[in-house]
Amino acid sequence: MGATRRPALRVAIVGGGVAGALLALRAVTAPAAAQVDLFTAGAPGQGDASGVSGGLVRGFEAGTDACRAAAESVAEIRDSAVLRDWTGYQETGSLYVLPDGGETEGPVAVLAAYLPGSAEVIGRDRILRDFPFRTLPDGAVAVVERHAGHISPQRLRTAALREAVAAGATVRATPVAVVTPGPSVRTADGGEHPYDHVVLAAGAWTPRLLTRSGLPAGGLRTKQIQYSVGETPLAGLGSFVDENSGLYGRPYGDGAFLLGLPTDRWDADPDTVRPDASLAERVERCAERVLGVPFAAGRTVAACDCYHDTPGLLLRRVGPGLHTFTGGSGGAAKTVLSASRTAAATLLTST
Ligand SMILES: Cc1cc2nc3c(=O)[nH]c(=O)nc-3n(C[C@H](O)[C@H](O)[C@H](O)COP(=O)(O)OP(=O)(O)OC[C@H]3O[C@@H](n4cnc5c(N)ncnc54)[C@H](O)[C@@H]3O)c2cc1C
C-alpha cells in the first residue's frame, strides 16, 4: 500500500490587507500547502491601513523579537528582485533617535546578523552634525541604518493577492459577519462555511468582529494613526523616527515629506475615522521646532490600525482552530514578510 497523503488543511483568512494577503500567499505556497479562502470586505484599500500606510521600513525595533522580524523582512526585500518590485522599495536609509539611556545593544546585534554593515550607533553631536536636527536632549543617541527606507504596502498587498490566487487561493469578496470556534465562518449573505483553521486578519476591524462573535477581544484594540504630506525644503534625511519629540517621517517625492506625530485616539472606529486638524497643526509646529524647516500640511491622511498589549504582528490563538493575525500596533508593514512566514508555518503544523 502506498503512503497516504494528508489532505490539505482548509484555511479561511478574513481580511485582504497586507497581513491577510501575505499570510494567504505563504499558506498556499508552503510545502504542505493549504487550501485557502480569503474573505474581503469591499475593494482592497478602502479606508484600511495597508492602503494608506506610510511604509517606513527599517531593521531597528526596541525589542529583540520585533527587531528580528523587521530586519529579516528588510533583508528578504533587498535579496529579491521580485520583492523589490512588489514592494516598490526605496532605499533612503533610516535614522532612529532615542532618548538618553535608550537600549540599542541587543537590537544592533540582531541587525549585524541580518543586515551586516547596515547599522551604526551615533551620539548627539554627530546627529546634530550629520542630520538636519535643530534640537535634541542631552544624551540622545541614534541608530543609523543604510539598508532601510520605505515601501508601498498597498502595492505589496496587490501583488500578494494576485500571486496567491495564481497559486490556487480563492478570494471571496464577501464580508464575514461572525466566526465561531470549531471553527467556521458566517458570511454577511448568511452562508456558513466550516474550516480547519480560521484566521482573523481584519486589522482594526478585528476587535469588533471578535466581540460580535461573542468572543473576548484578547488584548486587541484600535488606535488612529495620522500623517501629513507637504512641501518642505528638508534635505539630508531618509526615513526617520525621533522618540524625543514623537516626530517621524520620510521623503515623499520631489520637495515633499511625509511627517506625523503619534495620536492618543484609542478605540477609534475604523469606519468613521477622520483627520484631526489640530494634530496636523502640531506636526507643522514640531517640524519647525525640531528640524528648523517650514512644513505646510498639504494633505492629511488618517486611518486605524489594530494594537495589542504586547505589540507585534503575530498569530494568536483565540479558540479551537480560531486565530488572529494582527496587533502590529502601527508597524506591521515593516515586519509582515517575516511574520507571515512564521504564522503560516505555525498554522500548517498545528492540529
Ligand atoms: C496611517 C498609517 C500609517 C502607517 N505607517 C506605517 C509605516 O510607516 N510603517 C509600518 O511598518 N507600518 C505602518 N503602519 C501600520 C501598517 O500599515 C499596518 O499595521 C498594516 O497595514 C496592517 O495591515 P492589516 O492587513 O493587518 O490591516 P488592514 O490593511 O487594515 O486590512 C484589514 C482588511 O480587513 C478587511 N475586513 C475588515 N472586516 C472584515 C470582514 N468582516 N470580512 C472581511 N474582511 C474584512 C478590511 O476591509 C481590510 O481590507 C501605518 C498604519 C497607518 C494606519
Instruction: For residues 79-98, give the mean pLDDT.
Output: 98
- Which residues approach ligand 1 with their CB closer than 6 A? 14-20, 39-42, 44, 48-50, 52-56, 153, 175-176, 201-205, 209, 225, 227, 301, 303, 305, 326, 328, 330-334
Share the mean pLDDT of the chain.
95
Q: Is 176 helix (H, G, I), strand (E, B) or coil?
A: strand
Cα(125) to centroid(ligand 1), Å: 37
Q: In this structure, is residue 15 part of a structural domain?
A: yes
pLDDT score of 4: 62
Q: Are 258 and 347 in contact (CB under 8 A)?
A: no
DSSP states along 179-245: EETTTEEEETTS-EEE-SEEEE--GGGHHHHHHHTT---TTEEEEEEEEEEEE----S--EEEETTT
Does residue 42 surpass a pLDDT of 80?
no
Per-residue CA distances from 229 to 96, 267, 308 (Å): 20, 25, 28
Cα(204) to centroid(ligand 1), Å: 7
pLDDT score of 351: 67
Instruction: For residue 270, give the ligand 1 atom closest to its CA.
Output: 30
Q: Ligand 1, residues 26, 39, 53, 229: which to mutate, most atoms within 8 A of Cβ?
A: 53
Q: In this structure, is residue 303 part of a structural domain?
A: no
Q: Ligand 1, residues 26, 48, 325: which to mutate, most atoms within 8 A of Cβ?
A: 48
Q: In this structure, is residue 146 part of a structural domain?
A: no
All cell numbers assigned to 147:
539598508
Does residue 240 surpass a pLDDT of 80?
yes
In this prediction, residue 47 has a pLDDT band, given cuts at 50, 70 and 90, of confident
All cell numbers assigned to 179:
466566526
Assign residue 324 the CATH number of its domain.
Answer: 3.50.50.60
DSSP states along 267-305: T--TTT----HHHHHHHHHHIIIII-------EEEEEEE
Question: Among candidates 163, 194, 167, which has minimal Cα distance to 181?
Answer: 194
Q: In this structure, is residue 132 part of a structural domain?
A: no
Cα(106) to centroid(ligand 1), Å: 29
Does residue 6 surpass a pLDDT of 90?
no
Q: In this structure, is residue 76 part of a structural domain?
A: no
Instruction: For residue 305, give the ligand 1 atom closest to its CA.
Output: 53
- How many C-beta atoms lie closer than 10 Å to residue 67's C-beta? 23
Does residue 43 surpass a pLDDT of 70?
no
pLDDT score of 1: 45
| Tens of pLDDT, residues 101-141 | 999 999 999 999 999 999 999 999 999 999 999 999 999 99
Domain span at residue 210?
8-55+152-219+310-351
Angle 16-188-162 from CA coordinates, rounded to 5°: 25
Does residue 144 surpass a pLDDT of 70?
yes
Does residue 158 surpass a pLDDT of 80?
yes
Instruction: Collect all residues with Cβ–Cβ distance below 8 Å to 283 and sequence separation of at least 6.
Output: 227, 228, 247, 259, 260, 261, 295, 297
Instruction: For residue 20, give the ligand 1 atom closest to its CA.
Output: 25
In this prediction, residue 45 has a pLDDT band, given cuts at 50, 70 and 90, of low
Instruction: For residues 237-253, give the mean pLDDT.
Output: 97
Instruction: For residue 48, give the ligand 1 atom closest to its CA.
Output: 30
What percent of the chain has pLDDT above 70?
97
Q: How many domains does the chain have?
A: 1
| Tens of pLDDT, residues 205-219 | 999 999 999 999 989
DSSP H or E run through 324: strand 322-326
Angle 259-152-97 from CA coordinates, rounded to 5°: 40
Between CA 259 and CA 245 the distance in angstroms is 12
Pairing of strands 119-123, 149-150: unpaired
Between CA 227 and CA 261 the distance in angstroms is 7
Instruction: Collect all residues with Cβ–Cβ distance below 8 Å to 31 and sequence separation of at least 6.
Output: none
pLDDT higher at 62 or 156:
156
Spatial strand order of the sheet with 184-187 comes to 176-180, 184-187, 192-194
User: Count of residues for the chain?
Assistant: 351
| Tens of pLDDT, residues 307-337 | 999 999 999 999 999 999 999 999 999 999 9
Q: In this structure, is residue 187 part of a structural domain?
A: yes
Q: In this structure, is residue 176 part of a structural domain?
A: yes
Does residue 5 surpass a pLDDT of 70?
no
Residue in the structure block whose three cell numbers are 498545528: 350
Q: In this structure, is residue 265 part of a structural domain?
A: no
Q: Ligand 1, residues 305, 337, 340: which to mutate, most atoms within 8 A of Cβ?
A: 305
